[in-house]
Structure 1
């Protein structure tokens, strides 16, 4: 790994000192690396979610004193000095006969977490209000997952929990200056797709437009995080911002870290051995891909096949910029509510400028589809993915572009179980043959926005049918599904298939109500 760790430890300790937030790497050093590299637990996330029974320095001292003893058992040592994360779902038993609606209703309580008490040396970042976790190995709140989970909460009439979720995310913005990937210390180097403005919009629809003004400070602070460096950037890139050839600004995913992810340490170290890229750049691209939520997908690979060629920071993602367009429009709405017409017009202008740039740089005329933009090559990618539905979801596309896009969706993406994330089968989880609730929902709503209601309904019904079929066979709602072969569940990824599952529950409930599907 070439000597990056002494410097890394210093930087991490310095970065987190103000908030007294430390990560497993900074607390346990060589012990952490030994546990992860020796696969003491099958899932690298287990150890980073453990809590110590003693002060970390004391545990490290005992490790250093004992590690070279004959017969030293690392797993036994860890189990002696750490509490394992609790599995709260293990006691829940599904009643398949009661039906999927009843199942989702009962799962809200299973996936609910009460306000956190601050626990010293835990990686959990405490939240002040109740919240919903995705399920399975995901024991904390996740940023973009939560919007789609909240669709279900809204549909179920649980407005109080929707508001709790929004309050928690506003709290994270206040505390850390942005919304991290999840409320864990090891996620503080990155965010996730910025859906906070859509959450605020959802709450405003339930409670009134005054909500926009209440959350305006948080919206502005998140915007500053994503736009940091834009004012001084004359060319090239800086953190999340990219100066385009015509001088306009668009955004990319970018993680502040350039070392292995603590929750996936061994997998990242081993993958780095396969790449020809510089070590730090490779790790930053892996981490930035995790910020995208699409970890991993051929969408980010130079050769379209292999993770070793990942180039996330060299890509302007079409969906990210659609989200930031919505954020700018939502900030404008907040200023309207507070009567500040000058700032309202300013942010409307920012949004219109971004819209113009998305249409200019992300429309692939050869493919007749919206694609990511390749910074170094100065052209749109030819990779067709469901990220290309974002301009329809956010109503940025022209009517003719929407017509072309729906034609591609119908001919290439539509499968027996819904729509597939991409057209390539690489073994990565965000590729074919997998379908994911957030992508299904954004595709369906994007098509509805432009009047393609028949195709939207066809996708929705196929997805609903697949979800219910798997539920009847397994008693579970999954994180992802194989939409090409509907006799199989989804595959790929760095961990076993997860059940629960927050965003699947939310989108399924929303679509079943929207399309009046009356099953138990």
Structure 2
């Protein structure tokens, strides 16, 4: 073990000792108390209770609940207040001082959004990390997997190499500790991951001089093993875990969660959704969890019709996931060759080649002129175009003809005045039209630029205008935006399970990167509180 590795492991151990995580999730730990709190809506937001810090040993709290709940006049809300400390939501820090330029506002937010291991309360749901990390903001007070890549884009342009280095080691630590990167560093997120963007992070670290990509080859291999763990046992036509073996023997992947109970951070919402479905409740819970693993929680992309009760995430082979896994396999092959491991390099080159051929055969749709998700249970593509079609371009898995046709389809079907739409359908879900999200803008911009498509600059300009417009009026950045002006004004997005959040990690990151790339853009001169 090198000196640097020893230091990282020692830091992780110190973090764990300072704030030990409960080895059980809140639902497993608090059992009937958890059910009573969540179904009784003690907190308006279901995520609040699972993020609470217990004021005494969890076992003692559960014993006290069992002892007191049957007593006359028992008040559940008062009991919870007495035994738990709710998480602090730092809303007030997200409004910029009047007159502050957008770039300075973002640069100043990084410290506000940074959390430290010493701040972890003991015996809560937070999984300890060895180093400081940046959270999205608002109700999201923990590290999130795919969010962090887009946040890192901005950290790099803000000159925050300290946070980039800390985040790099945090993600390596998570893979070493758990065998994968959880959805977020909470015990209730351990059963699933998110889009596997660690391979993109590693490239970013090397590009900005944080560390060599080769350093993280063991973690890249381990993440690949997590996503493909069930592949070897599958026969044609079978699916298990993240893996689907098609009838012709080819392998692709899907989103998956290892549990089939309601999401703990949305317990009541999931129970309510399952009650509206004719399917067994556990089947619906699995689909909702898999949808959360996709990062697109939630979208018509995963559903039959507009009702969330019709969600079928695990039946769908997603374009973005499989493009990222192709990138992961190709990068492992390159790094293995650099490390002198010819056998491993050959193995992963073959895996990458097979996956790209399968993407072309199954996910490329010549009739639509774009990459489409594929419903393997029904043996048919999902006809609706989504912004995920840009991912093969972003990672370089498209040939020039596919890239050109995809760009034309995105322009014709998803381009809006404020940027690139998520999908073509307007629904009550937040990852549908009319909402625009920063990560989807960046993937399209980066992918189209790779192939020289001028649409990239048009999306970038429209998105910067969207963010700067609302910032001038409200002195803040938000999680998502409506891409069609409302009464002449840009407004924050809506839909989904919770109110619009201020902050906001990946909006800050993508916007900061785009402002750096286009210093003449008016967004660099926009000031808070001015029209």
2:494 alignment counterpart: 491
Between the aligned partners of 1:89 and 1:42, the Cα distance in structure 2 is 16
Give, in angstroms, the shift of residue 160 of structure 1.
2.5
Give, in angstroms, the shift of residue 394 of structure 1.
1.5
Residues 1:159 and 2:177 are matched in the alignment:
no
2:378 alignment counterpart: 377
SS in 2 for 1:29: helix
Q: After superposition, give the CA deviation of every residue in 1:24-75 in whole Å (9 maximum; x if it has no partner).
A: 1111111111111111111111100111112222212222222233332211
2:8 alignment counterpart: none
2:265 alignment counterpart: 263
Between the aligned partners of 1:126 and 1:27, the Cα distance in structure 2 is 18
| Range that drifts further, 433-442 or 372-381 | 372-381
1:439 alignment counterpart: 440
Residue 253 of structure 1 contacts residue 313 of structure 1 at CA under 8 Å; is this kept in 2?
A: yes
Between the aligned partners of 1:156 and 1:349, the Cα distance in structure 2 is 39
C-alpha distance 254-86 of structure 1, shift in aligned 2 (>3 A):
same
Between the aligned partners of 2:290 and 2:30, the Cα distance in structure 1 is 25
Q: After superposition, give the CA deviation of every residue in 1:69-115 in whole Å (9 maximum; x if it has no partner).
A: 33322111111111111234435552141111111011001001123
Give, in angstroms, the shift of residue 161 of structure 1.
1.4
1:296 alignment counterpart: 298
Give, in angstroms, the shift of residue 402 of structure 1.
1.7
C-alpha distance 92-289 of structure 1, shift in aligned 2 (>3 A):
closer
Between the aligned partners of 1:343 and 1:115, the Cα distance in structure 2 is 36
1:102-121 matches, cutoff 5 A: 102-116=104-118, 119-121=121-123
Between the aligned partners of 1:92 and 1:143, the Cα distance in structure 2 is 22
Between the aligned partners of 2:282 and 2:292, the Cα distance in structure 1 is 15
SS in 1 for 2:208: helix
1:478 alignment counterpart: 478
Residues 1:240 and 2:242 are matched in the alignment:
yes
Between the aligned partners of 2:98 and 2:436, the Cα distance in structure 1 is 23
1:366-515 matches, cutoff 5 A: 366-453=367-454, 455-485=455-485, 486-515=489-518
SS in 1 for 2:92: coil
1:80 alignment counterpart: 82
Between the aligned partners of 2:322 and 2:34, the Cα distance in structure 1 is 37
Between the aligned partners of 1:44 and 1:321, the Cα distance in structure 2 is 32
Q: After superposition, give the CA deviation of every residue in 1:131-169 in whole Å (9 maximum; x if it has no partner).
A: 100000000000000000000011112222112111101
Structure 1 gap ranges (5+):
1-18
Between the aligned partners of 1:340 and 1:413, the Cα distance in structure 2 is 44
Residues 1:519 and 2:525 are matched in the alignment:
yes
| Range that drifts further, 508-517 or 258-267 | 508-517
SS in 1 for 2:212: helix
1:126 alignment counterpart: 128
Between the aligned partners of 1:131 and 1:67, the Cα distance in structure 2 is 39
Between the aligned partners of 1:91 and 1:68, the Cα distance in structure 2 is 42
1:141-180 matches, cutoff 5 A: 141-180=143-182
SS in 2 for 1:90: helix
Q: After superposition, give the CA deviation of every residue in 1:206-241 in whole Å (9 maximum; x if it has no partner).
A: 228x72221111111111000001112113111001
Between the aligned partners of 1:57 and 1:126, the Cα distance in structure 2 is 20
Residues 1:314 and 2:340 are matched in the alignment:
no
Between the aligned partners of 1:91 and 1:360, the Cα distance in structure 2 is 49
Q: Paired residue for 2:73, among 71, 74, 84?
A: 71
Q: After superposition, give the CA deviation of every residue in 1:370-391 in whole Å (9 maximum; x if it has no partner).
A: 1111111112211210011111
Give, in angstroms, the shift of residue 365 of structure 1.
2.7
- TM-score scaled by length of structure 1: 0.93
Between the aligned partners of 1:91 and 1:318, the Cα distance in structure 2 is 37
1:354 alignment counterpart: 355
Residues 1:254 and 2:260 are matched in the alignment:
no
Cα-Cα RMSD: 1.5
Residue 22 of structure 2 contacts residue 123 of structure 2 at CA under 8 Å; is this kept in 1?
A: no
SS in 2 for 1:207: coil
Give, in angstroms, the shift of residue 195 of structure 1.
0.3
Residue 117 of structure 1 contacts residue 126 of structure 1 at CA under 8 Å; is this kept in 2?
A: no
Q: After superposition, give the CA deviation of every residue in 1:441-492 in whole Å (9 maximum; x if it has no partner).
A: 0111111111112x11111111001101111111111111101235321001
2:185 alignment counterpart: 183
1:277 alignment counterpart: 279
Give, in angstroms, the shift of residue 20 of structure 1.
6.1
Between the aligned partners of 1:325 and 1:280, the Cα distance in structure 2 is 31
C-alpha distance 175-118 of structure 1, shift in aligned 2 (>3 A):
farther
1:196-235 matches, cutoff 5 A: 196-207=198-209, 211-235=212-236
When the two structures are aligned, how many residues end up with a matched partner? 499
Between the aligned partners of 2:419 and 2:93, the Cα distance in structure 1 is 32
1:16 alignment counterpart: none
Between the aligned partners of 2:146 and 2:396, the Cα distance in structure 1 is 20
Q: After superposition, give the CA deviation of every residue in 1:168-207 in whole Å (9 maximum; x if it has no partner).
A: 0110011111000000000011000000010011111122
